[in-house]
Amino acid sequence: MENIKEILTKYKNIALVGASKDLKKTSTIVMKYLQKYGFKVFPVNPFIKGEKILGEKVFASISEIDSPVEIIDVFRPSNEVIEIAKEAVKIKAKVLWLQLDIKNEEAKKIVEANNILYIENKCTKIEFEKYFD
């Protein structure tokens, strides 16, 4: 199992599921932070597909992203994570990362059975700050 520091060093392309145009929302704050540190962030939100968040085009789903995605960073309720886990398998993501207070055992089983790393209940920004900021 790779540790979080290794993951955040090795993987730089992130699909941020549950992105928001509201600059005060946690997902947007985290996206801006990750961009500042060199991550390529692809916002995912079907309700604002085609619009832009922090200069990046918004995608309706993970599978629409036309670049390799290594980390799927999830800002959605736990009960939505199973479908996201299936998308992670479909696009051959390396990591399914669930933000604070998000957990799903079934999603964990799905991704781990496909050699995808699973992280739950952790914030990418907070974890990055621990090691690099």
pLDDT at 2 over 70: no
Rounded to whole angstroms, the Cα distance separating 19 from 39 reads: 15
Say whether 14 sits in a helix, a strand or coil.
strand
Which CATH number covers residue 59? 3.40.50.720
**Number of domains into which the chain is organized:** 1
Rounded to whole angstroms, the Cα distance separating 105 from 87 reads: 16
- In this prediction, residues 21-32 reach a mean pLDDT of 97
> DSSP labels for 82-94?
HHHHHHHHHHT-S
Expressed as residue numbers, the domain containing 95 is 4-132
Q: What are 73-129's pLDDT values in tens digits? A: 999 999 999 999 999 999 999 999 999 999 999 999 999 999 999 999 999 999 999
Pick from 69, 124, 131: nearest CA to 100 = 124
